Amino acid sequence: MIDHPRLEEKLIHRALSERGIRAGILNVTSVPLPLDGLRIAEVALIRTVGMFRGVRAAAVLESMGVRTINSSSTILRCGDKVLTYSILHGAGLPIPRSLLALGREAVLRAHAQFSGPAVDKPPLGSWGRMVSLVRSSEMASQIAEARELMPSSVRGHIIQEYVETGGRDIRCLVLGDRLLGCMERSAARGWKSNVALGGKVRALEVTDEMEELSLRAARAVEGEFVAIDILSNGELLVNEVNGIPEFKGFMRATGIDVAGELASHVREVLRS
């Protein structure tokens, strides 16, 4: 299931074909899906760029009995960071100290609870968009004002402690009940380490702590193929879980054939 195929989707398709798996590509922006249809496939990899497209396409397929990777509920739980943090915290996993603020007054009161700068991010979004480091209450209220003009999906605020990471974070890719590997992303400039913003990547040796944390986080959201982003200031904190992970930077950094691993995993699922 795709909308705007990237390198990842092409690699996955190739890896499936190489393993003799008959894989069709369905672009959900051009093909309607029947809401009362019969099963159209055994397994579907949900690979849309649009998170809600992924959630909805997965839900429709699940109703037909298709095994989706990831499921609609996992994609939604990962796509909305408020849901993600709530689930992670509920499962006893460490997250950055965070407050949910759903209006301008709440935003200002949330910031007042932090002595230093704090990070403001919308509930949805990726590639570091709209994630700001807030250093004053003037800036906090400007952001709140600007956000009120945005679509409702990004109107809330997660106000959280700024974790002194040195502009780095750790990305761990989990497939099934296995950690494929980890890499470090470091910011090209500033403090956000997103690859989409030019962040540099390198492979990291997996520690027991990283492995335990990422497998527990994946399990908490019931993720089958997810990327866990971890912030570290000495202590490891789960920053987010990505439900439709991009992995070209990860393949480059670690040399791990993620598309091949995913295709082999699909083969196992089909056999079972």
Partner 1 sequence: MEAECPICGSPVELPDDVMAGELLECPSCGATLEVYEQDGTFLLREAEEIGEDWGE
Applying CB under 5 A, the residues found at the interface with Mg ion are: 126, 240
Q: How far is the CB of 210 from ligand ATP (least distance, A)?
A: 16
The pair of three-digit structure tokens given for residue 143, joined into one six-digit string: 């952001």
47 binds, among Mg ion, ligand ATP, partner 1, none (CB under 5 to 8 A by kind): none
Q: Which residue do the tokens 């990547």 mark?
A: 201
HSE-CB at 35 with a 13 A cutoff on CA atoms is 1
Q: Which residue do the tokens 């909308």 mark?
A: 3
| Residues in region 133-172 near ligand ATP by CB under 6 A | 160-163, 165, 169
Among 13, 121, 157, 265, binds ligand ATP (CB under 6 A): 121
Q: How far is the CB of 189 from ligand ATP (least distance, A)?
A: 12
Residue 207 near partner 1 by CB under 8 A: no
- Residue 123 and residue 81 in contact, taking contact as beta carbons nearer than 8 Å: yes
Among 44, 61, 119, 217, binds ligand ATP (CB under 6 A): 119
Q: How far is the CB of 130 from partner 1 (least distance, A)?
A: 8
Distances in Å between the Cα of 151 and the Cα atoms of 122, 124, 272 are: 11, 11, 43
The pair of three-digit structure tokens given for residue 191, joined into one six-digit string: 């403090």
Which range of residues in 9-17, 19-27, 123-131, 145-153 is near ligand ATP by CB under 6 A? 123-131
Residue 242 near ligand ATP by CB under 6 A: yes
Measure the CA–CA gap between 205 and 150, rounded to whole angstroms: 41
Among 170, 187, 227, 266, binds partner 1 (CB under 8 A): 227
Q: How far is the CB of 137 from Mg ion (least distance, A)?
A: 27
261 binds, among partner 1, Mg ion, ligand ATP, none (CB under 5 to 8 A by kind): none
Burial of 30: CB neighbours in 10 Å, binned 0-12, 13-18, 19+: exposed
Burial of 25: CB neighbours in 10 Å, binned 0-12, 13-18, 19+: middle
| Residues in region 30-69 near ligand ATP by CB under 6 A | none
- Residue 74 and residue 59 in contact, taking contact as beta carbons nearer than 8 Å: no
68 binds, among partner 1, ligand ATP, Mg ion, none (CB under 5 to 8 A by kind): none
